[in-house]
Amino acid sequence: MNLFLDAFAWIAAPEQWSGSGSLPQRLGEHLLYTVIAVGVAALIAVPIGWLIGHTGRGREFAVGLSGAARALPSFGLLFLFVMLVGVTLRGPIVIAVLVLLAIPPILAGAYAGFEVIDRRTIDAARAMGMTEGQILWRVEVPLGLPLLFGGLRSATLQVVATAVLAVFVGLGGLGYGIVQGIAVRQFDQMLGSALLIIALALLLDAVFALLERFAVPRGVRAGRTPIVRSASPRRRAVAEPSA
């Protein structure tokens, strides 16, 4: 318990909130890596996932690619790229590794959002004379957004956790406090940095949870009826007064 108190005291210390290497600077670096990586991964994965979901072709390839990408060791991949390309491009290398990590869940969310749509809905749209482009943007994309946001949510959490590795190639982020704390055996600094990473992950998770909830079209939300559990006949018989 004392270690947690020391960690909170380290976070609240005035010297941690000003100057070079302050917590706001490290937090900004961590967020920057996350936003860029998830944004680039979304630009790559979302169109491919929508194409697969709309046409129904290439799903096996996408599933295999996603599984293979999930199995890649991020730490080893980071150092491999640095050794091959050089330390001068360590920033783009870190982003590239994080993008590779973020693509599989976004890709899965993109095409799965289309696959769960009732085919009768698509057939009805075609029967009304909609073109394939209109079906894509007016029917499939709105109905598939909740699962897409779910994929973005998963990708963001993975990137936030993995961006800690950026410090091992001389970059910043919230992982700097952990690595420095290990070197100088400052356990309060290590725990404080870890708590900040957890807090950032929980905050971003809550944001995407809200986006995922509000992405459900209004008509779909209106059509959902709550499940009301009625009392059993025996309980009702006990509760009803006898004549």
- Per domain, the residue ranges of the chain are 2-239
> Mean pLDDT, to the nearest integer, of 72-93?
78
Of 147-156, 205-214, 215-224, the one with minimum mean pLDDT is 215-224
The pLDDT value given to residue 10: 92
Of 80-84, 189-193, 196-200, 229-233, the one with minimum mean pLDDT is 229-233
> Mean pLDDT, to the nearest integer, of 224-228?
48
The pLDDT value given to residue 228: 46
> Mean pLDDT, to the nearest integer, of 67-79?
76
Considering the chain, what percentage of its residues have pLDDT values greater than 90? 41
The pLDDT value given to residue 242: 45
Provide the mean pLDDT of the chain: 84
The closest of 210, 23, 169 to 83, measured between CA atoms, is: 169
Band of pLDDT at residue 39, cut at 50, 70 and 90 = very high
> Mean pLDDT, to the nearest integer, of 37-49?
95
Q: What is the dihedral of CA 7, 11, 13, 18, to 10 degrees?
A: 150
The pLDDT value given to residue 222: 54
> Mean pLDDT, to the nearest integer, of 131-152?
91
Of 24-28, 101-105, 157-161, 224-228, the one with minimum mean pLDDT is 224-228
Q: How far apart are CA 6 and CA 191, in angstroms?
A: 9
Domain over 2-239 is classified CATH 3.30.230.10: no
**Cα–Cα separations (whole angstroms), residue 232 to 225, 227, 236, 239, 240:** 21, 15, 6, 11, 12
The pLDDT value given to residue 33: 93
pLDDT over 90 (residue 204): yes
pLDDT over 50 (residue 41): yes
> Mean pLDDT, to the nearest integer, of 192-216?
93
The closest of 160, 162, 173, 164 to 205, measured between CA atoms, is: 160
